[in-house]
């Protein structure tokens, strides 16, 4: 490393920005980053230049334009990736805590994503309405959704042009958590109950209604009641099975000559009228929405269902454990689950108590959205990310495992290890094709001296490894307890910043294709070591001593694996299959020959 040469280049760039360089200080920083912390010289040069420019209130010079192939469309972003994107900042809001410098939404022609900039070591804040290029940003996950983390290692470069964006309009009935654009009419404005909240109420279209919120920090414009708006890039969030949209008024355009016939129903499918039903109230809870009087679970002789009582029904509160006859209700489907809607014109009357048949147990492998009774035990407990959350993790039975959540309600108790529980009337939710169970309102009955042999092996799949994704091979992980995130090549953690005392890991992320379905698959260290006969220590030796470094590890693994057939036993978690065991498959050439003969071809 030529320290003098790097110092000279930095000095020249500073002089071009009319900054008098301190050569001794620059050289000391270079030696510290490169010699002590092992930062690559080119990255050390960029970091030092950026820090000094920031001290003088200046931006990094605009880099040369990279190949379009370096830029990832927002729609293709996946958690765990370090990416470069170009997008327009469509909205910003006040940070929810002192640890956050800025939150907002950034969009390109493919889609939109929420972003967050942490206060510690934050780069320049983004400006609403402007295009920019973000290099070395991190895609993380928050509440099950991809989220972009912009940290001190991210390079932010303004783009001095405005490019067209055409958001796709989504009906309220089809909303799901994420970012969406919609056309709706403000039908109610409610009292604001939070210091950070600017406005809240109800917005609707021809398919249903949904709660909306406007937080302070963006435009101070108020949305007018009975006005129809085109709303671009709203954040759709879910809490306890209910959706809401967070709107920046700056992204709303009033439609003066547009009328909407608003359907008075929550997001969901069309509802059908029900005959008289009789059932027992299993649980009931008040709602945070002024449009909803109560929600809960009702059990009938035909099964159990979630129900919603709308405020306009004018019905007195129901009592848990009581039987009621309900007339004038409607049945709809919300996110795959049947739900009873009790609105204006419906009538409810208490009736005599009667025996209720015990609900049947449903194996985890057979669960579907709705209400179910399960017999499980705690498999894994995760660190809670919110004070409102008492516990989350995985529970399992003989057929599989599933994510669970337990909110911190009065009287709620944590699940204990090595205990089998019968949970009556749990809520089975679905999000992006993934199931989870909400145990908060369920009745828990622990079994004494019982056990379950939880199915951990999962599914056996066979296919060709057709793709090996970036982030495979030998990777560096954050050493902070409970973090374990993959670091960038410059040893940056998206949460804990620069981590020179990293720990190594070995993995392969790829795609296994059986000719019908392509599945995302992760081979952890133990499977990689067994399958490739390459240990972590051997991979580390290659990475530290070969000219290509870590790229040589992935080159060797790719050369051995890509295109070959595997038989993999894996457990599915969300949309990812995590391998427990894998073995190579050798093609049966006699079958190959027979197939070619049937097709009229030749075996080369």
Average pLDDT estimate for 77-101: 83
**Residue 25 CB contacts under 8 Å (≥ 6 apart), including other chains:** none
> What DSSP character marks residue 76?
G
- Please classify residue 586 by burial: count the beta carbons closer than 10 Å to its beta carbon, then call 0-12 exposed, 13-18 middle and 19+ buried: exposed
Residue of higher predicted confidence among 551 and 44: 551
CA 353 to chain centroid, in Å, comes to 44
CA angle at residue 176 from 371 to 429, to 5 degrees? 15
Could you tell me which CATH class the domain 364-447 is placed in?
A: mainly beta
Tokens of 434: 């993934």
- 554-567 residue pLDDT tens: 889 888 888 889 98
Residues 104-146 pLDDT 10s: 999 998 899 999 888 776 777 898 899 999 988 888 776 667 8
Question: What are the tokens at 330?
Answer: 């409607």
Alpha-carbon separation of residue 120 from 68, 98, 100, 138, 439 (angstroms): 31, 10, 8, 15, 37
Q: What is the pTM (predicted TM-score) of this model?
A: 0.47
The string of pLDDT tens digits covering residues 30-75 is 877 666 555 666 667 777 888 888 888 887 664 444 444 578 899 8
pLDDT of residue 508: 92
- Reference 231, options 86, 127, 74, 105; nearest CA is 105
Q: What is the rounded CA–CA span in Å between residue 103 and residue 118?
A: 9
* pLDDT attached to residue 349: 94
Report the helix count and the strand count for the chain, using DSSP H and E. 7, 34
The alpha carbon torsion through 100, 217, 242, 384 (nearest 10 deg) reads: 10
211 compared with 597, residue with greater pLDDT: 211
Are the C-beta atoms of residues 91 and 128 closer than 8 Å to each other? yes
* pLDDT the model gives residue 112: 93
CATH for 459-584?
2.40.50.140
Band of residue 268 on the pLDDT scale cut at 50, 70, 90: very low
Q: Which fold has domain 68-159?
A: OB fold (Dihydrolipoamide Acetyltransferase, E2P) (2.40.50)
**b/e map of 542-552 (b: 16 or more CB within 10 Å)?**
bbeeeeeebeb
CATH number of 172-254, picked from 2.40.50.140, 1.10.240.10, 3.40.50.720, 3.40.50.2300 = 2.40.50.140
At the top level of CATH, which class does the domain 273-351 belong to? mainly beta
**CB-based contact 10:47 (threshold 8 Å):** no
Spatial contact of 140 and 117, defined as CB atoms under 8 Å apart = no
Residues paired with 131 in a beta bridge: 88, 159
Distance CA 536, CA 550 (A): 12
Boundaries of every domain in the chain:
3-55, 68-159, 172-254, 273-351, 364-447, 459-584
């Amino acid at each position: 490393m030529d320290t003098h040469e790097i110092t000279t280049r930095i000095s020249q760039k500073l002089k071009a920005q009319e900054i008098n360089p301190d050569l001794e200080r620059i050289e000391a920083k270079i030696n510290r980053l490169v010699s002590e912390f092992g930062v690559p010289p080119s990255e050390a040069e960029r970091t030092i230049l950026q820090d000094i420019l920031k001290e003088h209130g200046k931006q990094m010079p605009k880099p040369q334009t990279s190949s379009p192939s370096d830029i990832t469309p927002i729609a293709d972003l996946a958690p765990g990736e370090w990416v470069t994107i170009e997008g327009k900042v469509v909205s910003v809001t006040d940070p929810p805590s002192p640890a956050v410098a800025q939150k907002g939404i950034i969009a390109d022609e493919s889609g939109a994503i929420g972003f967050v900039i942490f206060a510690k070591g934050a780069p320049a804040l983004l400006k609403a309405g402007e295009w920019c290029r973000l290099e070395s940003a991190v895609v993380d996950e928050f509440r099950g959704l991809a989220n972009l983390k912009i940290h001190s290692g991210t390079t932010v470069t303004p783009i001095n042009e405005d490019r067209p964006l055409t958001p796709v309009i989504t009906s309220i009935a089809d909303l799901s958590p994420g970012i969406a654009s919609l056309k709706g009419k403000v039908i109610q404005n409610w009292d604001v109950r939070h210091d950070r909240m600017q406005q809240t109420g109800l917005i609707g279209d021809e398919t249903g209604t949904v709660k909306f919120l406007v937080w302070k920090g963006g435009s101070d414009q108020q949305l007018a009641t009975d006005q129809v708006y085109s709303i671009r890039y709203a954040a759709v969030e879910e809490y306890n099975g209910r959706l809401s949209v967070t709107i920046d008024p700056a992204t709303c355009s009033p439609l003066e000559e547009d009328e909407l016939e608003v359907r008075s129903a929550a997001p969901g499918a069309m509802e059908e009228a029900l005959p008289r039903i009789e059932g027992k109230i299993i649980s009931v809870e008040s709602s945070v929405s002024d449009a909803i009087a109560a929600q809960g679970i009702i059990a009938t002789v035909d099964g159990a269902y979630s129900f919603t009582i709308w405020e306009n029904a004018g019905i007195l509160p129901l009592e848990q454990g009581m039987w009621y006859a309900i007339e004038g209700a409607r049945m709809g489907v919300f996110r795959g689950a049947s739900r009873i809607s009790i609105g204006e014109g419906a009538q409810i009357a208490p009736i005599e108590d009667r025996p209720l048949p015990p609900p049947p147990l449903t194996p985890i492998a057979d669960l579907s959205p709705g209400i179910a009774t399960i017999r499980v035990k705690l498999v894994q407990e995760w660190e809670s990310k919110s004070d409102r959350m008492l516990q989350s993790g995985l529970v399992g039975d003989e057929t599989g495992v599933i994510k669970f959540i337990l909110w911190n309600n009065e009287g709620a108790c944590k699940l204990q290890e090595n205990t089998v529980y019968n949970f009556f009337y749990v809520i089975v939710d679905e999000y992006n094709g993934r199931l989870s169970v909400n145990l908060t309102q369920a009745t828990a009955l622990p079994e004494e001296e019982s056990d379950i042999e939880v199915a951990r092996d999962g599914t056996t799949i066979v296919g060709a490894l057709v793709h090996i994704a970036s982030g495979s091979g030998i990777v560096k992980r954050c050493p902070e307890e409970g973090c374990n995130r993959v670091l960038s090549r410059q040893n940056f953690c998206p949460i804990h910043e620069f981590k020179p005392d990293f720990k190594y890991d070995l993995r392969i992320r790829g795609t296994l294709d059986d000719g019908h379905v392509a599945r995302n698959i992760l081979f952890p260290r133990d499977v990689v070591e067994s399958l490739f006969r390459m240990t972590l220590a051997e991979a580390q030796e290659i990475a530290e001593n070969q000219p290509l470094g870590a790229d040589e590890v992935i080159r060797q693994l790719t050369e051995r694996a890509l295109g070959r057939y595997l038989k993999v036993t894996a457990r599915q978690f969300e949309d990812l299959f995590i391998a427990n065991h894998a073995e190579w498959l050798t093609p049966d050439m006699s079958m190959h020959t027979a197939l070619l003969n049937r097709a009229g071809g030749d075996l080369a």
